[in-house]
Amino acid sequence: MTPLYPLYINGKFMETKDRQNILNPSTGKVIAEASIASLKEVELALSSARFAFDKGDWPKLALSERRSLILKVARGILDNAGELAALESANTGKPIKETTFMDIPSAAKTFEYIAGSFESFLNSEIVNVPEGSQAALRREPRGVVVLIVPWNYPFLIASWKLAFALAAGNSVILKPSSLTPLTTLKLAGIIHDAGLPAGAVNIINASGPKVGEALCADKRVDMLSFTGSNEVGRQILEYSSQNVKKSIMELGGKSASLIFGDVDVDTAVNSALCSAFLNQGQMCTAMSRIFVQDSLYDRFVASFVKKAKVLKLGPSDNPETQMGPLISDSQRKKVIAYIEKARTEGAKVLCGGKIPSGAELKNGYFFEPTVIAEVKPQMHIFREEVFGPVVLIGKFTDADSAVELANFSDFGLASCIWSKDIPFAEQLAKQLNSGTVWINTYGMFYHQLPYGGFKQSGFGKELGQAGFLEYTRIKNIITDQSAEGRPLVNYWYGF
C-alpha cells in the first residue's frame, strides 16, 4: 500500500481529503501520497501557531528546557538518519551518498549547534543613556514565523530555518515544496516524539500559489523566511507588504569560480566538477560559470570534459551513482530550453546537452552533464539561473578581467577563487560581489558562519549568530533613574 503522509497542526497528525501523489524522479513511480492543506488547514495552522506563541508554553520555557527539547530533535534525526536519507533520495533524486553524508547529518548538526549556542547569542545589554536613565536591550522572539522551503535541499533547509526559529522562541508554520514534502512530514513525528508543546511547530504541505497569500499576508504572522526562486520571492514580498512583515529572502544564484593558472589542474577540475554537478547542479550556490586563466584554459577544459563524460548517472538509491535525475520532467524541459537558446545565440556545447539512453535511466528525469563554451555575457545562459547540470566555461587573462566577469550578474550568492597565492586570493575576495567567497574549496557551510546573498540573491542571513538574530527582535526598556523619581517629563506642563 502507498504510505500516506499527514499534515501536522497543533500537535496532531491530520489527513486531508485532498492528496497528492509523490513521485520518485529516478523512476517516475509513485512512492507515497501526501495530504495537501487547503485554506481551512492554513487557518488552523495560523491560529495554532498564534495561540502557541501568545498563550502556550514554548516561548515561556526555561532556556535550558528549550535547549534540551531542541537536542532531542537532533537525537531523533540521528536515530532515523538511514531512513531519512533513503526517503530524501527517493523523493528528490539526490544520490544516496549525498543525503547520507551531507543532508541528514548536517541537519542534525544544525539543531545541535543552535541548542549549544543560542543562550550566548541572547545576551541582554544595559546601556546608560543621558538624563539619568538606563536602557535594557532585550532580545525577544518575533512571534509566529512562516518558513517556506524549496525542493532542492528539502530537509536541510527546513532544518536550518526550523532549528534557529525555534531556538529563538518563535512558533512556526513550515511549508515544504509540494514536490518534496516527505522528509519534512516525517520530521513532524520526530518533533512530536521529542515532546515540543502543541502548536510550536505546524507543518503543512500545500501548493504555494493556492495558499501563499493566505499564509504570508495574514496579520497573525510576524515574519517570513523564504528560500526559493526570485519569481516566487517577489510574490511573497508583495503578500508580506500587505501587513508589513520582517522577511528573509534566500533567492537564486549564478555563481562564478575563478581558476588561476598557478593551481594544480587535477585539484581544480575535480573540485569544479563537484561545484557544478552535485545534486545535478540544482544548487543555489552551483558554480555554474567557471572562468579559467588563459594559460590553463585548454588543459582544464580537456580534463573537465573528459571527466564530465564519465560521471555515472543512475538511480538515487545506488551508492555508485554520481549523478541522479532532475527533480521533474518540467525542470528537465526548462534546462533543455536554456541549452537550445544558448546554441542559437552562438554558444558551443562541448559535451552533454541530451537525455541519456540506457534501460535503467529511461523512466527517470535524467540529463547528461553539460559543458558549454564560447559564451558571452549578453547571452541568457550567462545571466539566468538554469538550475540543472549545465556549466559554462570561459577564460580570462588577468585578475581585473576575472573579477569583472564574476561580478557581471544580477545575483551575488557565492564565488570561488582557486590560486596558490593565498594573500592574492584574499585581496581578490574583497572585490567579489557575493555573500560567500570560498578560496581553494567549495561548498563549505559552517553552522557558525552566516550565509546569504547580495543583490538579487536576496537579503537576510541563515546560520551563525547573525542568522539566529534574524529570528529575534530588540526591545529597549528605558527606566528613569533620576533622584526622587522626578524625571524631566514631570515638569513639562509646569505643574
Q: Among all residues, which ones are annotated catalytic?
A: 250, 284
Q: Concatenate the DSSP letters of all residues of 289-336 into one string.
A: EEEEEHHHHHHHHHHHHHHHHT--B--TT-TT-SB---S-HHHHHHHH
Calculate the CA dihedral of residues 61, 64, 70, 74 and round it to 10 degrees: -160
Total site size for ligand NAD, rule CB under 6 A: 30
Q: Which of 132, 208, 261, 356 binds ligand NAD (CB under 6 A)?
A: 208
Residue among 252 and 450 whose Cβ is closer to ligand NAD: 252
Residue among 24 and 279 whose Cβ is closer to ligand NAD: 279
The distance of closest approach from Cβ of residue 230 to ligand NAD in the complex, given in angstroms and rounded to an integer, is 7
Residue among 122 and 185 whose Cβ is closer to ligand NAD: 185
Residue among 259 and 413 whose Cβ is closer to ligand NAD: 413
The distance of closest approach from Cβ of residue 129 to ligand NAD in the complex, given in angstroms and rounded to an integer, is 39
Q: What is the length of the chain?
A: 495
- Interior/surface letters 469-482, b for 16+ CB within 10 angstroms, e for the rest: bbbbbeeeeeeeee
The distance of closest approach from Cβ of residue 212 to ligand NAD in the complex, given in angstroms and rounded to an integer, is 2
The distance of closest approach from Cβ of residue 415 to ligand NAD in the complex, given in angstroms and rounded to an integer, is 14
Q: Which of 32, 84, 147, 149 binds ligand NAD (CB under 6 A)?
A: 149
Residues 244-263, mask of contacts with ligand NAD (x by CB under 6 A): ------xxxx----------
Point out which span in 94-102, 129-137, 147-155, 372-380 binds ligand NAD (CB under 6 A).
147-155
Q: What gap in Å lies between CA 152 and CA 137, rounded to an integer?
A: 38
Q: Concatenate the DSSP letters of all residues of 240-264 into one string.
A: HHTT--EEEEE-----EEEE-TTS-
Place of cell 546569504: 452
Do 437 and 446 contact (CB within 8 A), yes or no? no
Q: What gap in Å lies between CA 241 and CA 224, rounded to an integer?
A: 11
Point out which span in 102-110, 225-233, 262-270, 271-279 binds ligand NAD (CB under 6 A).
225-233
Q: Which of 59, 76, 199, 228 binds ligand NAD (CB under 6 A)?
A: 228
Do 108 and 439 contact (CB within 8 A), yes or no? no
Residue among 74 and 216 whose Cβ is closer to ligand NAD: 216
301-340: which residues touch ligand NAD (CB under 6 A)? none
Q: What gap in Å lies between CA 102 and CA 444, rounded to an integer?
A: 11
Residue among 232 and 258 whose Cβ is closer to ligand NAD: 232
CB atoms within 10 A of CB 109: 17
Q: Does 34 bind ligand NAD (CB under 6 A)?
A: no
Q: Does 413 bind ligand NAD (CB under 6 A)?
A: yes
Q: What gap in Å lies between CA 223 and CA 282, rounded to an integer?
A: 27
The distance of closest approach from Cβ of residue 413 to ligand NAD in the complex, given in angstroms and rounded to an integer, is 6
Measure Cα distances from 402 to 236, 305, 415 in Å: 35, 22, 12
Q: Does 187 bind ligand NAD (CB under 6 A)?
A: no
Q: Does 152 bind ligand NAD (CB under 6 A)?
A: yes
Q: Does 232 bind ligand NAD (CB under 6 A)?
A: yes
Q: Does 236 bind ligand NAD (CB under 6 A)?
A: yes
The distance of closest approach from Cβ of residue 180 to ligand NAD in the complex, given in angstroms and rounded to an integer, is 8
Point out which span in 72-80, 209-217, 372-380, 424-432 binds ligand NAD (CB under 6 A).
209-217
Q: Does 42 bind ligand NAD (CB under 6 A)?
A: no
Residue among 172 and 268 whose Cβ is closer to ligand NAD: 172
CB atoms within 10 A of CB 152: 24
Q: Which of 106, 229, 303, 407 binds ligand NAD (CB under 6 A)?
A: 229
Residue among 235 and 271 whose Cβ is closer to ligand NAD: 235
* Closest C-alpha to 383, from 346, 338, 318, 350: 338
Q: Which of 53, 291, 300, 387 binds ligand NAD (CB under 6 A)?
A: 387
Do 390 and 338 contact (CB within 8 A), yes or no? yes
Residue among 312 and 333 whose Cβ is closer to ligand NAD: 333
Could you tell me if residue 93 is left (phi over 0), alpha (psi between -120 and 50 degrees) or otherwise beta?
Answer: left
Q: What gap in Å lies between CA 158 and CA 187, rounded to an integer?
A: 10
CB atoms within 10 A of CB 319: 9
Q: Which of 8, 58, 118, 151 binds ligand NAD (CB under 6 A)?
A: 151
DSSP state of 6: P
Measure Cα distances from 159 to 50, 58, 104, 184, 251 in Å: 21, 18, 9, 9, 17
Q: Does 461 bind ligand NAD (CB under 6 A)?
A: no
Do 250 and 226 contact (CB within 8 A), yes or no? yes
The distance of closest approach from Cβ of residue 87 to ligand NAD in the complex, given in angstroms and rounded to an integer, is 18
Q: Does 386 bind ligand NAD (CB under 6 A)?
A: no
Burial bucket for residue 396 (CB in 10 Å: 0-12, 13-18, 19+): buried
Q: Does 485 bind ligand NAD (CB under 6 A)?
A: no
| Contact positions vs ligand NAD (CB under 6 A) | 148-153, 175, 177-178, 208-209, 212, 216, 227-229, 232, 235-236, 250-253, 284, 385, 387, 413, 453, 457-458
